[in-house]
Structure 1
Amino acid sequence: MGKTLDNVYKHQSLAYKYFLYLVSVALIVFFFPKGGKFKYEFQKGKPWQYENLYAPIDFSIKKTAEEIAQEQQSLRDNKTDYYTYDASIPEGIKQKVLQQLQTSFNGNSLSIRQQNALQNWASRVIDSVYDLGIFQELPGSSTVRVVKNNEARTVMSNNYLDNAKARNLTSRLFSQLQLAGDDNLLAIINNALEANIAYDEAFTDRALEDELSKISFTRGEVSEGRLIIAKGEVVEAENFKILDSLKAEYESELWGGTNFYFILLGYTILVALVLIMLFLFLKRYRVEIFKNNNKVTFIFVNILLMVLATTLMVKNNESYVFVVPLCILPLVLKNFFDARLGLFVHVLTVLILGFVVPNSFEYIFLQTIAGIVTILTASELYKRANLFISVGQITLIYIIGYFAFHTIHEGNLENIEWTLFGIFILNGLLTLFAQPLIYIYEKIFGLISDVSLLELSDTNSKLLKELSNKAPGTFHHSLQVANLAEAAANEIGANAMLVRVGALYHDIGKMENPTFFTENQITNVNPHDDLPPKESAKIIIDHVIKGIEIARKNKLPDRVIDFLRTHHGTTLVFYFFKKQQELEEEVDEAKFRYPGPIPFSKETAILMMSDAVEAASKSLKDPTFIMIDDFVEKIVRGQMQANQFLNANITLKEIEMVKKVLKQKLTNIYHLRVEYPE
């Protein structure tokens, strides 16, 4: 049972990676749009590279979104306006006019027959006017439909009447009167007229929606067995529409029934293969990252976020797929790790997204080129201008790439979708979000970026001020070591900012007992003179442990604490070890040796060399070029013989380059000049 638990404990890191892998594959496949994939790739303006294609099924030729939009706009532009006819108004006006006429007959010399004739004439005039109806406002279109008695009839513009035209009509009808009449009759009728036709906006909108709903999304049929395109034939506009229709029909039919499980299996296998490539890359070329579950999780979370954002965009509006700022991925990974890993992960993510985005070749090409440009141009993000310059170049690459593909497909610069330029600019603006995102990741995953390193390198920070006050000699030594290490790191292409920060903090443990270290002794009194060598060695060795405690208390990042742990490796406190040997023959060497670990990166190895060389250089008396050369060679050779660089990924050539820089810097510090003969 105990052995089983030991095995579980030893392999829990690997088990977590398996779990992360399976969850990531499942989530990515779940994010994917639910649809099959057409087995042919085709592009407008390019030759058909496959064998002759015959229609495998009967299918309809779908109209493009532009064609449907044009039809819809045409219906809107030529819509029929509907007006409502109010039949109660003419009846009311007729009653009102007849009453006024009856009143005017009192005391009048007209006979009963004449009065009846005038009343009949007035009724006919009102009926004639309201047979057409009077509009509240004259319509702007040449033809409208008027709804009268639940029946819509067409009215032409030459029959439109408003109040003014209605009065003109009554005047013409009055002039045709053959009977003797009342002069006030015309005035009575004209004063009584009012509009009874009003614009019915709701009815008009319903009628328009009804017409829009009748638009057909297809234009013609393709019967099974018909030749669609021959091998080598260029995919022209008409063929492209037919192929696109077949693709849509094929994918909609494919995703259903038992096909669902086969498609799901296919997606799962492809995504699993891509993520396996990532694990193999990490295990082979980034062993330190592979062993760190926190960093592996960080990489997978970034991939999942990009896949989620892109698939959501594809599901909602695939035209805006380039809005997703995919170049944030290589930016962030390069900032926390290195350029090669950032580009590799970016390419794998683009390959995954190539399964689901439209025009996958264009998408993969543009995103890959944009990722390469990001890796090549994005550096020193702690400098504000650098990120803006990099984003500008990324946006320019998108625009140039779009121009190139458009000219290939169309053969000209017509019909350019200018909205895509806005999409590319928006993509660039969203890419600027990388800066706050880096800060968020630092807090969540405990990583460290160049921006944080720049903040930590400020000598006015609380911890470094405390070091300069309590141990001024150590502080000065740390500054000198930082300058040496930074120059060496720049020479061999290591992280100069990281090694500088590590050098500034590597000896903060000396604040506990500053006078026990020679650089802080301002008098001739040495407290080690009153202590046995074992205790003195313990105090010297303990500055590493105490430094780690102080660093954790002040929440320094783990990558900086690594420099505190490794800057002496497992070397021997040689001076006190020799003094102890003078007192006794058998000496336990382990008590005089630093606990380690030994350096495990180029940066920590550089710090070990720079620290030892700078500290020992204080013992040089009247140094010359030859003395400095031998001095540096002796110290570094001793560290190599003690196997201190076995775990550091630093080559012999790089060590030689570091030694060369250290010699040059020490020569400058001691202001050595060439001795000319007298």
Structure 2
Amino acid sequence: MNRIQKFFTQIKGLLVHRFFQVLLFIILGLFAYGLMFSNVKPERVQVELFKPAEQTIRSTKTVEDTYKTEQEKEEISKQVADVYSLKKEYAKNKVDLISSIFDSAIEVNKETDPDEDHKEDKKEPVKTDAQKVSILKEKLTDEVNKNIEESVFLALVQADEDELKIAKDSTITAVNNVMSSRIAASDVENAKKKVVEELGYMSISGDMKKASTSLARTAIIQNVFFDKDKTEEQRRKAVESVEPIRILQGQIIVEENQLVDRDVYRQLELAGFLNTESTIYPYIGLLLFIFLTFAAFYYYFYYSISKKDNKYNQLLIFSLVFILSMATMKTVSILADLKNSNLEYIFPGAMAAMLIKILLNDKLAVAMIILLGSYGTIIFNGDTPGNLDFSMGLYIIFGGLTAIIILSRPNFKSKVLVAGLLLALINMAFVFSLIFIMDSHYTRMEYLYYAAAAIGSGVGSAVLTMGLLPFFEAGFGILSSIKLIELANPNHPLLRRILIEAPGTYHHSVMVANLAESACEAIGSNGLLARVGSYYHDIGKTKRPHFFIENQMNEENPHDRLQPETSRDIIIAHAVDGGEMLRSHKFPKEIVDIAEQHHGTTLLKFFYHKAKKQDESTLEAAYRYPGPRAIMKEVAVIGIADSVEAAVRSMKHPTPEKIEELVSFIIQDRISDGQFDECDITMRELSIVKHSLCESLNGIFHSRIEYPEPDKLGQKVKE
């Protein structure tokens, strides 16, 4: 064990205590707080009224410009025209008045002019026109009488009934037509002229026509009046429709060297740049944000991960990747600010997702990239407090999730650089999508710059991942997919040794690898680990290859001449020898465990029964493998596949029914023997393993066509 492993082992020893777990999260939170402190610290600027600004100042928050909003409301209110309402009842009132005047005149004429047939019977003298006028006025009100000329009354009492009716109808029609339209105060005279024009076509006597015209002119009045309530309502609605004028977050208030006039000075004051009073709200907000994120992660690590050793490994790896990524993020943001460019797009955000995906699991990789994306919105805010660069946060999250998806494809874990190149293209497309959505306009060189930054991010993430993986693997003793693929190389010295010294064992190991990989993938375990472990599970047989039946090519079995105790020791030794050989070659612990545990504490039944025949006092425990029994699911599956492959290969005529019966027997025998008592494999998973093994074995040992012998075949051809 190297120094790095010792160091991290010591730290893991401390993390057993809850106090140090909490302390680690506090340290991570303080680290993040320190990096983002400058990004939320309220900015104070030195500006003077009517002097040029020394720097370009952007608003750090969105605030309402109340002064300009009120100005806009006043302007809109002034633009609302006065509302005038039409009094429709005025037309009806005037029509009724004209009708009443004519009706009164007709009544007076009837009362004062008896029928010709009864004139001689009347004792009263005939009324004069003056008397008739007086009677007519009595029927009307003083206000009406005051507005009507004497000549009109005289014409009314002198006219006969038919003429009065004709004049009445014509006058009412003309007044109603004119009064039905809108008549403002300035339009009254024109309306009177219009009614006179309409009455000019009446076919009545001149005096009566003049009287009707005079009455009609008197009836025409203003019928449109200013409506204060409606005008106020319209103005209120117009004012309410005015959107508040805001100084938007990130908006440039004043450019460098621009004169700070009163309007700019007022906006700076509204945005808080001239406020000399310090505020602690940004610091509290950042602290609360960090607390919430790390509290969620603490809950996950403490309650969701059951295996303690795995928990501490994951916690340390997660912490180191987080610190490394945050430090890189802050460095890139500082360089971007110094060069005043969008250098932040080169940040290799997907590196963290790739490392966590390869070293740990998908869940933590997704959580890590979401955390970095959230913090990235603050760190990449251009050192403008209050700003949150959501586009950069989206870029980091999208790139990280894309990397996780790419690495989820088969064999992509061994091709991190290829994944990085693919990620670079996707990053570039995403950056351009953001640019086009925001409708930003750049020069051709700027577009090339963005493309280069996106490509650099993708490739850089892959290169850094490949460079950092060996350090994490060495420090934590992690068996990554890349390491497994390296061990699966047929040119590996130990594999070549098996092939040369024990070819039968090599073939057996390859068969077991195929069976175990399919079964492990079926239950969601690490199929690649099962395959590579199977390659090396019988490496111990290379010390005495000819004592194992698969390597005895037409040779006498040496065990026929040996005592059961000696044979037992040779057979059992291959598991122990295998573990020692793998340790001496610095193999990962998981592969060593597979070599030592794949037989568990099973019984060497053949030699036990042979010894039992020789000595009835032989103990069963003396003929069992030393173990330990399987702890990982992969070891349990490999142990089953190892026994099944050897047993099926020894069958003369395997059929699907016989294979299924044999597999069921071997699994049930191991369950009864307690070989899975220390492994968390379930009965349902064992059922899936059985089904997978049967499918694979049926494909390998399928029935073949029996071809006729050569001489019989020739005879058939001749026929």
The two structures share one fold, judged by TM-score above 0.5: yes
| Deviation, structure 1 residue 628 | 1.0
- After superposition, the Cα gap between the structure-2 partners of 1:239 and 1:342, relative to the gap in structure 1 and judged at 3 Å, is closer
- After superposition, the Cα gap between the structure-2 partners of 1:625 and 1:216, relative to the gap in structure 1 and judged at 3 Å, is closer
| Deviation, structure 1 residue 225 | 9.9
Q: 1:374 aligns with which of 395, 403, 409?
A: 403
**Separation of aligned partners in 1, 2:692 and 2:403:** 31
1:30 paired to 2:34: yes
Q: Pairwise mapping of residues 58-207 of structure 1 onto structure 2 (< 5 A)? A: none
| 1:275 aligned partner, one-letter code | F
Query: Which digits, 9 at most, give the CA deviation of each residue in 1:467-509, with x for residues without a partner?
Result: 2333332222112111222333444454332221100001112
| 1:426 aligned partner, one-letter code | G
| Deviation, structure 1 residue 368 | 1.9
**Separation of aligned partners in 2, 1:548 and 1:302:** 32
**Separation of aligned partners in 2, 1:314 and 1:249:** 25
* Equivalent in the alignment of 1:362: 391
Q: Secondary structure at the match of 1:432?
A: helix
Query: Which digits, 9 at most, give the CA deviation of each residue in 1:219-277, with x for residues without a partner?
Result: 8999x996289897586779833599689856997878xx4xx8767655543543343
* Equivalent in the alignment of 2:562: 530
- After superposition, the Cα gap between the structure-2 partners of 1:674 and 1:505, relative to the gap in structure 1 and judged at 3 Å, is same
* Equivalent in the alignment of 1:297: 316
* Equivalent in the alignment of 1:333: 356
**Separation of aligned partners in 2, 1:250 and 1:644:** 73
* Equivalent in the alignment of 2:457: 427
Q: Pairwise mapping of residues 196-275 of structure 1 onto structure 2 (< 5 A)? A: 216-217=54-55, 227=66, 240-242=251-253, 259=280, 267=286, 270-275=289-294
Q: Secondary structure at the match of 1:530?
A: coil
**Separation of aligned partners in 1, 2:539 and 2:68:** 75
Q: Pairwise mapping of residues 349-428 of structure 1 onto structure 2 (< 5 A)? A: 349-358=372-381, 359-379=388-408, 387=416, 390-407=419-436, 409-410=438-439, 418=447, 419-428=449-458
- After superposition, the Cα gap between the structure-2 partners of 1:445 and 1:464, relative to the gap in structure 1 and judged at 3 Å, is same
| Deviation, structure 1 residue 662 | 1.9
Q: Pairwise mapping of residues 1-40 of structure 1 onto structure 2 (< 5 A)? A: 12-15=14-17, 17-18=21-22, 20-36=24-40
The 10-residue stretch of structure 1 (378-387 or 415-424) with the greater mean CA deviation from structure 2: 378-387
Q: Secondary structure at the match of 2:651?
A: coil
Larger radius of gyration: 2
Q: 2:365 aligns with which of 334, 339, 342?
A: 342
1:280 paired to 2:314: no
**Separation of aligned partners in 2, 1:562 and 1:381:** 26
* Equivalent in the alignment of 1:68: none
Q: Contact 1:333 / 1:341 at 8 angstroms: preserved in 2?
A: yes
**Separation of aligned partners in 2, 1:600 and 1:666:** 25
Q: Secondary structure at the match of 2:625?
A: coil
| Deviation, structure 1 residue 631 | 0.8
Q: 2:663 aligns with which of 618, 627, 632?
A: 632
Q: Secondary structure at the match of 2:336?
A: helix
| Deviation, structure 1 residue 428 | 1.9
**Separation of aligned partners in 2, 1:12 and 1:308:** 25
Q: Contact 1:487 / 1:661 at 8 angstroms: preserved in 2?
A: yes
| 1:299 aligned partner, one-letter code | F
Q: Contact 2:599 / 2:639 at 8 angstroms: preserved in 1?
A: yes
| 2:347 aligned partner, one-letter code | V
Query: Which digits, 9 at most, give the CA deviation of each residue in 1:268-314, with x for residues without a partner?
Result: 55435433433433454443475364453222211110011112222
1:543 paired to 2:574: yes
The 10-residue stretch of structure 1 (279-288 or 369-378) with the greater mean CA deviation from structure 2: 279-288
| Deviation, structure 1 residue 385 | 9.8
| 1:423 aligned partner, one-letter code | A
Q: Pairwise mapping of residues 276-675 of structure 1 onto structure 2 (< 5 A)? A: 276-288=295-307, 291=310, 293-318=312-337, 319-358=342-381, 359-379=388-408, 387=416, 390-407=419-436, 409-410=438-439, 418=447, 419-433=449-463, 434-522=465-553, 523-527=555-559, 529-533=561-565, 535-582=566-613, 589-645=620-676, 648=679, 650-673=681-704
Q: Secondary structure at the match of 2:606?
A: helix
**Separation of aligned partners in 2, 1:221 and 1:10:** 47
- After superposition, the Cα gap between the structure-2 partners of 1:414 and 1:608, relative to the gap in structure 1 and judged at 3 Å, is same
* Equivalent in the alignment of 1:124: none
Q: Contact 2:428 / 2:454 at 8 angstroms: preserved in 1?
A: yes
- After superposition, the Cα gap between the structure-2 partners of 1:406 and 1:574, relative to the gap in structure 1 and judged at 3 Å, is same
Task: Structure 2: state its 5+ residue gaps.
Answer: 1-9, 70-241, 255-266, 382-387, 707-719
**Separation of aligned partners in 2, 1:550 and 1:620:** 32
Q: Contact 2:45 / 2:273 at 8 angstroms: preserved in 1?
A: no
| Deviation, structure 1 residue 575 | 3.3
| Deviation, structure 1 residue 456 | 1.3
The 10-residue stretch of structure 1 (354-363 or 246-255) with the greater mean CA deviation from structure 2: 246-255
Q: Contact 2:523 / 2:685 at 8 angstroms: preserved in 1?
A: yes
- After superposition, the Cα gap between the structure-2 partners of 1:420 and 1:220, relative to the gap in structure 1 and judged at 3 Å, is closer
**Separation of aligned partners in 2, 1:669 and 1:407:** 56
| 1:365 aligned partner, one-letter code | L
Q: Contact 2:659 / 2:694 at 8 angstroms: preserved in 1?
A: yes
Q: Contact 1:330 / 1:343 at 8 angstroms: preserved in 2?
A: yes
- After superposition, the Cα gap between the structure-2 partners of 1:247 and 1:365, relative to the gap in structure 1 and judged at 3 Å, is farther
Query: Which digits, 9 at most, give the CA deviation of each residue in 1:86-134, with x for residues without a partner?
Result: xxxxxxxxxxxxxxxxxxxxxxxxxxxxxxxxxxxxxxxxxxxxxxxxx
| 1:240 aligned partner, one-letter code | Q
Q: Contact 2:637 / 2:689 at 8 angstroms: preserved in 1?
A: yes
The sequence identity of aligned pairs, in percent, is 25
* Equivalent in the alignment of 1:70: none
- After superposition, the Cα gap between the structure-2 partners of 1:643 and 1:220, relative to the gap in structure 1 and judged at 3 Å, is closer
Q: Contact 1:282 / 1:289 at 8 angstroms: preserved in 2?
A: no
Pairs aligned (count)? 494
Query: Which digits, 9 at most, give the CA deviation of each residue in 1:608-628, with x for residues without a partner?
Result: 221121122233122222111
- After superposition, the Cα gap between the structure-2 partners of 1:414 and 1:536, relative to the gap in structure 1 and judged at 3 Å, is same
| Deviation, structure 1 residue 217 | 2.4
**Separation of aligned partners in 2, 1:361 and 1:641:** 59
Task: Structure 1: state its 5+ residue gaps.
Answer: 1-7, 40-56, 63-212
**Separation of aligned partners in 2, 1:456 and 1:273:** 42
**Separation of aligned partners in 2, 1:283 and 1:614:** 41
| 2:318 aligned partner, one-letter code | I
**Separation of aligned partners in 2, 1:484 and 1:225:** 69
- After superposition, the Cα gap between the structure-2 partners of 1:525 and 1:378, relative to the gap in structure 1 and judged at 3 Å, is closer
TM-score, normalisation: structure 2: 0.59
Q: Secondary structure at the match of 1:672?
A: coil
**Separation of aligned partners in 2, 1:333 and 1:9:** 19
Q: Contact 1:573 / 1:592 at 8 angstroms: preserved in 2?
A: yes
